[in-house]
Structure 1
Amino acid sequence: MLKTYTLLLSLFLSVYTFAQTAYPNLREGNYTITHYTFENGQELAALNLHYYTIGTPQKGKDGKIANAVLIMHGTTSSAAAFLSKQFAGELFGPGQLLDASKYFIILPDAIGHGKSSRPGDSLHMHFPNYTYNDMVTAEHELVTKHLGIDHLRLILGTSMGAMHAWVWGYTYPDFMDALLPLACQPAHIAGRNRMMRKMAIDLIKMDPAWNNGEYSTQPVLGLTGALSSFFFMNSSPLQLQQSASTRAAADTLVTHIRRANLAALDANDVIYALEASRFYDPSPYLSKIKATVYAINSADDEINPAELGVMEREIKKVAHGRYILLPITDKTVGHGTNSLPAIWGGYLKELLEVSAKQ
């Protein structure tokens, strides 16, 4: 039951079962950008970007690195999520689709997340008001100036990371061969999605313990209210019915959800992470994307409901784009399906094959 829960809430929950496999050349690093200027003109004297890499860069016949893969995480998550059995255990091992002996895999913590610079470190609500554009620009500098890579074989992103993949695609259209955005829409965030974010932010700020961001202990009441919004948007009714089929089991699961999330999240970090999407809107720029794109959503994803028809409309603007809607099964888990390559791995295999020919 609890294992299923971690999959259901993989967008917002930073609790994972880590893979035990010893991947080749797994390294952890930090890169500091001095005097980083955000798109609103605010500046951070030292922006730290934390990351993992797995594997070794390999050059092609043109002398350039040809095997680099960038994988980006979801809102309030971190790169460590991709080292889980459910993800790394399905992709990075010998003979698997992103075999780390063949690919150089880059897993960054986005601004405001994981071990990268965050509001919760010290600046609290005085941290620069970053956006998705800022996050992508910083990741591009990490990849190019620090890791020395000028081309990516693949960019894969889940949820927020999927939205970043779209931004990468039109901002740096010659930089990658393929894009695999999982669980997102390439359009501005409005309607229920924005309303959920706004409600969660307001609930945190309404808690007197939040104290304008200057709290000594987490504002538990506000965060707990925010988690209720996250839960209903991220969960799967079918999986919950199976995992919590009795009143006692459901009550136990609620307790676990609350305890695990409150232990993992910082209120200011959550506010900034949710607000970072405020200017996101790739729709006008999709025709600039040159890479082969396979955009994958799940039919039971409440954050990106298929009935809106957004993907069907927008994917037509992408020259080499394809939209895949995964049907609801006893294995899909709502929005968290984005982190289960056992379900969508066949499409990744096809994308790698198709993009290699173009």
Structure 2
Amino acid sequence: NSVSIALATINCLTNAGVSMNRERILPNLREETIYLQQFMFQEGSTLPELRMHVTTIGQPREDARGIVRNAVLILHGTTGSGSGFLREQFADALFGPGQLLDATRHYIILPDGIGHGQSSKPSDGPRAHFPEYTYDDMVLAHYRLLTEGLGVNHLRLVMGTSMGGMQSWIWGYRYPDFMDALLPLASLPVEIGGRNRMIRKMIMDAIRDDPAWQGGNYVEQPPGLTAAIHGLIWMTSVPLLWQQDAPTRAQADAKLAQLIAQYRTQLDANDMWYAFHASRAYNPYPHLAEIKAPLLAINSADDQVNPPELGLMEEAMTHLPTGRYVLVPTSSATRGHGSHSWPHLWQEHLAALLIESERRATQ
């Protein structure tokens, strides 16, 4: 077998960071660890066994031909994990009874990508000897997770945030007949260059240029991790909201210290370097015409990673007959790059995508 499965059914929802009174919103919540055998990476190396962790909600439903019709794949951002989508701000707005992705009617799939969460990653032991994975590797692992591990042969929707949004574009052209619709959030379908690439390289250099990194064999997290976190904080900054929250020098300094402390408890230097390095080969632009499924790209005007003044999305959409682009205007409700995780800002557009894609799928 190319895949083996270890299953943990979550009987006590508090184990997954959610309270028992949310069982109605997250029915049949399960965690699985799926082992993909002989996983070959784009750069040529092979892992005899790649561990993939996934959280699922709801149950798959097949049509008369055995095709799964209700599966929704949701992909997380850089340094994140699938469990992030269980937060009330996201899950309650999308997965609850009567919501757009009601988990009593949909099969929600929340994987941890390679190098993230509880899936195989450098900090498990290999450190700097872990394969230098790419977004394409991560998408292949998702595909094998679905088809070999979960028995899912079709997706109602592929959606993702930030890195997950970028991987949604890759899904669209690598497996063009596998999904009914695509929803990339907080992303651009072009090679990562300009300021975006510069800040990513600053983050990576801050880690590996630090002598305390010791070739990845540090005992304690190196100071370079804090310097890298500075870059991450800038990428996810929300100018309007942060000015309101921290209008004085003392408040701003305190907020910065709080953010750094929070990230340092969550991040590992090797894992962080690999996660940002994974974006190096990303470039869906030459493949846009290969995407068949209806696609809705959503960005926010206050996104520091994908600033709208670049005009890159508008140009890309001219090469995508099935695509549409929505820019959420800056307001007191937006959260910069993180607006992708607040569905109340964009769920009306998701509703339109689901209606359109269902109509096309039944024609």
Q: TM-score, normalised by structure 1?
A: 0.93
Output the CA distance in 1 between the equivalents of 2:32 and 2:94: 22
The answer for unaligned runs of 5 or more in structure 2 is: 1-15
Output the CA distance in 2 between the equivalents of 1:28 and 1:298: 32
* Structure 1 match to 2:267: 265
| Cα contact 2:230–2:260 (8 A) shared by 1 | no
Output the CA distance in 2 between the equivalents of 1:185 and 1:199: 20
* Structure 1 match to 2:209: 206
Size of the alignment, in residue pairs? 342
Q: Which moved more, 1:250-259 or 1:90-99?
A: 250-259
Taking the TM superposition and a 5 Å limit, the aligned residue runs for 1:93-242 are 93-219=96-222, 221-242=223-244
282, 285, 288: which one aligns with 1:286: 288
User: Any idea what the Cα deviations from partners look like across 1:232-268, whole Å, max 9, x if unmatched?
Assistant: 2211110101111233322221121011100000000
| Cα contact 1:289–1:318 (8 A) shared by 2 | yes
351, 355, 358: which one aligns with 2:357: 355
What's the CA shift for 1:67?
0.3
* Structure 1 match to 2:22: 21
Relative to structure 1, the CA distance from residue 17 to residue 89 in structure 2 (aligned partners, 3 Å threshold; closer, same or farther) is farther
What's the CA shift for 1:230?
1.4
Output the CA distance in 2 between the equivalents of 1:319 and 1:162: 19
What's the CA shift for 1:113?
0.2
| Cα contact 1:186–1:311 (8 A) shared by 2 | yes
Output the CA distance in 1 between the equivalents of 2:334 and 2:111: 26
What's the CA shift for 1:302?
1.0
Q: TM-score, normalised by structure 2?
A: 0.92
* Structure 2 match to 1:88: 91
Equivalent residue letter for 1:231: I
What's the CA shift for 1:45?
1.6
User: Any idea what the Cα deviations from partners look like across 1:13-41, whole Å, max 9, x if unmatched?
Assistant: xxx98576111100000110122111111
Equivalent residue letter for 1:308: L
Equivalent residue letter for 2:194: G
Hey, which bits of structure 1, 4+ residues long, moved more than 4 A? 16-20
| Cα contact 1:112–1:119 (8 A) shared by 2 | yes
SS of residue paired to 2:204: helix
Taking the TM superposition and a 5 Å limit, the aligned residue runs for 1:31-42 are 31-42=34-45
Percent of pairs with identical residues = 51
* Structure 2 match to 1:66: 69
Output the CA distance in 1 between the equivalents of 2:146 and 2:131: 22
User: Any idea what the Cα deviations from partners look like across 1:47-79, whole Å, max 9, x if unmatched?
Assistant: 000000000111224332110000000000000
| Cα contact 1:17–1:85 (8 A) shared by 2 | no
